[in-house]
């Protein structure tokens, strides 16, 4: 079976750990990266099917990365699920071109459903 490849990026180790476990459990191929500067290169190298991106990160914020992705012709339609604990998160994510937004703390089933939705169409 063709496992879908998901790139996750969050600066919090606990959340990375959690997401890795639950996504792996669902049979996804998970690539985890905590360094926001490396996300762009990783996308180009790994060509993931979907990206889960935290918005509030040091150095490069999620929305800045998102804008970069949307500016790359190959990836302008790449599904990106933005997550954030910020109250303004949804607005920022949608403005930057996110496919979907999930507020932290999230319900695992809800997160999985949001992630599965765009992948079903692929």
Residue ranges binding another protein (CB under 8 A)? 12, 14-15, 17-19, 21-22, 56, 84-88, 91, 104-109
Please give the full DSSP string across 28-66, using - where no structure is assigned: -EEEEE--GGGHHHHHHHH--SEEEEESS-SSS-HHHHH
Nearest-approach distance from CB 52 to another protein, in angstroms = 13
First to last CA, the chain: 14
Nearer to another protein, 68 or 86 (CB): 86
Nearer to another protein, 22 or 42 (CB): 22
Nearer to another protein, 84 or 99 (CB): 84
Q: What length does the chain have?
A: 122
């Amino acid at each position: 079976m063709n496992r879908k490849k998901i790139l996750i990026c969050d600066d919090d180790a606990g959340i990375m750990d959690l997401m890795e476990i639950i996504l792996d459990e669902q049979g996804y191929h998970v690539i985890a990266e905590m360094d926001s500067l490396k996300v762009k290169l990783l996308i180009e190298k790994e060509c993931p099917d979907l990206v889960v991106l935290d918005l509030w990160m040091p150095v490069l914020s999620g929305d800045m990365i998102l804008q970069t992705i949307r500016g790359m012709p190959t990836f302008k339609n790449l599904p990106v699920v933005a997550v954030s604990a910020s109250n303004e998160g949804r607005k920022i994510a949608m403005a930057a071109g996110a496919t979907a937004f999930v507020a932290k703390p999230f319900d695992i089933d809800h997160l999985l459903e949001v992630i599965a939705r765009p992948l079903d169409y692929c």
